Structure 1
């Protein structure tokens, strides 16, 4: 192993251990979260949590609060408070379901859809600029490995539970 310019160990030949992979993944996650959060605040005045809550509304309307909460990995009361704030800003509209008055359906307003689209566009532009640092072959490998890592991480809990039964 040799030292990189930022003082971190980097592999010159051979393999890296799980700790190094974990540190690199954590650093990537933090950097992506910061970039996404900064983009959200500058473009639409939205927090990262609000963007996560709104993402499903970019492709679908009249989504129940519970489903939005689940998608954003927050509790229903938390989602409700966030949606009240977003409604006050004119970003979402909430209404009772005609089929079940206990259910609240949420849609983006025109302004909310514009803000979310602008944010998504800005994020894609930034990602595109970052990806241009890679060769075409590296980009193919990067996408392949990221998809594989996502699948492994997503299934790690279920695999661990199956092995202990």
Structure 2
């Protein structure tokens, strides 16, 4: 069974890598990486691009390029910090909040649909296994 869990984890990680590599097909759509970063911005307070890059696990250069695109699309805005004028703060626009709310609703609906065939007990066990595997991965290389 350990081999089966390891294989399933590899499949999940590969699917996540493919998702991150997919570009949106329609103009104005957001990539999975952009959505992940925006969800991190939404969960916390407005912050600098560097702080957001850390939260979203992206390089600062990638984050800056991404924010340029998102700002042009009216999804985020950048402004000088009132506390420290050297810092540029990133925040979601009203349009950005609306786009994320729609994306979240879609993701949650699809997740409920896919997981509806499993019992609460099965989902609880799956959650425990995934957290254990996350801890395993975090422990490698230390």
Which TM-score bucket, shorter chain as reference? 0.7 to 0.9
Q: How far off is 1:33 after superposition?
A: 5.5
Q: How far off is 1:37 after superposition?
A: 7.9
- Asked whether the equivalents of residues 91 and 109 of structure 1 are also in contact (C-alpha less than 8 Å), the reply is yes
Q: How far off is 1:23 after superposition?
A: 2.9
Q: In structure 2, do the counterparts of structure 1 residues 29 and 138 end up closer, same or farther at CA, with 3 Å as the change threshold? A: same
Cα distance in 2, alignment partners of residues 93 and 105 from structure 1: 8
Cα distance in 2, alignment partners of residues 36 and 121 from structure 1: 20
Map 1:59-74 onto structure 2 (within 5 A): 59-74=43-58
2:140 aligns to what? Answer: 156
Structure 2 length-normalised TM: 0.83
Q: Structure 2: 5+ residue runs without aligned partners?
A: none
- Superposition CA RMSD, Å: 2.5
2:41 aligns to what? Answer: 57
Q: Structure 1: 5+ residue runs without aligned partners?
A: 1-14, 159-165
Cα distance in 2, alignment partners of residues 37 and 130 from structure 1: 22
Aligned residues: 140
Cα distance in 2, alignment partners of residues 61 and 16 from structure 1: 41
- Asked whether the equivalents of residues 20 and 31 of structure 2 are also in contact (C-alpha less than 8 Å), the reply is no
